[in-house]
Amino acid sequence: MFEARLVQSAILKKVLDAIKDLLTEATFECSDSGIQVQAMDNAHVSLVSLNLRSDGFDKYRCDRNLSMGMSIACMSKILRCAGSEDTVTLRAVDNPENITFIFESPNKEKLAEYEMKLINMDQEHLATIKLAQTADADNEEEAVVVNMQEPVKLTFSCRYLNCFIKAGPLCAQVQLSMSNDVPLVCEYKIGDIGHIRYYLAPKIDDDEENDPFRFLNASFSV
């Protein structure tokens, strides 16, 4: 039996809005520690890593590890039926073929259930990459913190960067980690429940010179 309950469906809505332009479907790995998603976009240029800890949910139960393939577009459509203040519960049995979304209004007068068929996906759980990076300002919330160990110059596709900033409603701050010849890491905290990380491969010089749309790329120097 798997059951995860969030007091406000708005959190899950924002998470899906943050990944739906990069992923069409993904495997949600559920365990007693929480829910994880690690998936690459179709072009294999960026990777999305989502972690929602079990202790961040209002109620969480996972009797056995489950891997559930889900359509991100279908999930988004279902979540649109919930009010921002509604409670949302995800529920599935062992060896599930479907997952159930249950929405309940704050006054408990409205209850709705939606069932979504799961997708069979053959996808390995990817390892998490860690990079070290972290300025001072009068207002900590508006501070830009830079911790540089060596000069860095990288070029990235603006299309992907525009997708990453859609996670902005989840957190007022974003952490960027860069190192030469390795992917950019863009991390947003999700309150007390977890985080979402985007990994983006830099464009190499040869690709950039032959790219007719290179003016749509962004270069970063630190």
- The widest CA-to-CA distance across the chain, in whole angstroms, is 61
CB atoms within 10 A of CB 3: 17
**What Rg value do the Cα atoms of the chain yield, rounded?**
19
DSSP 71-139: EHHHHHHHHTTS-TTSEEEEEE-SS-SEEEEEEE-TTS--EEEEEEE-B----PPPPPP--------SS
Of 66, 80, 46, 47, nearest in space to 3 by CA? 66
Q: How many CA atoms lie within 13 A of 65 on its CB side?
A: 4
Question: Against a cut of 0.95, is the pTM above it?
Answer: no
Q: Which residues contact 221 (CB under 8 A, 6 or more apart)?
A: 151, 152, 153
pLDDT values of the chain reduced to their tens digit, one per residue, 222 residues: 999 999 989 999 999 999 999 999 999 999 999 999 999 999 999 999 999 999 999 999 999 999 999 999 999 999 999 998 899 999 999 889 999 999 999 888 788 999 999 998 765 544 444 444 444 445 555 555 556 567 778 888 899 999 999 999 999 899 998 888 789 999 999 999 999 999 999 887 655 455 544 444 555 554
Of 148, 123, 153, 144, nearest in space to 133 by CA? 148
Instruction: Output the CA torsion sign for 8, 9, 10, 11.
Output: positive
Tell me the two tokens of residue 15. Answer: 């998470």
* Domains present along the chain, CATH in parentheses: 2-123+144-200 (3.70.10.10)
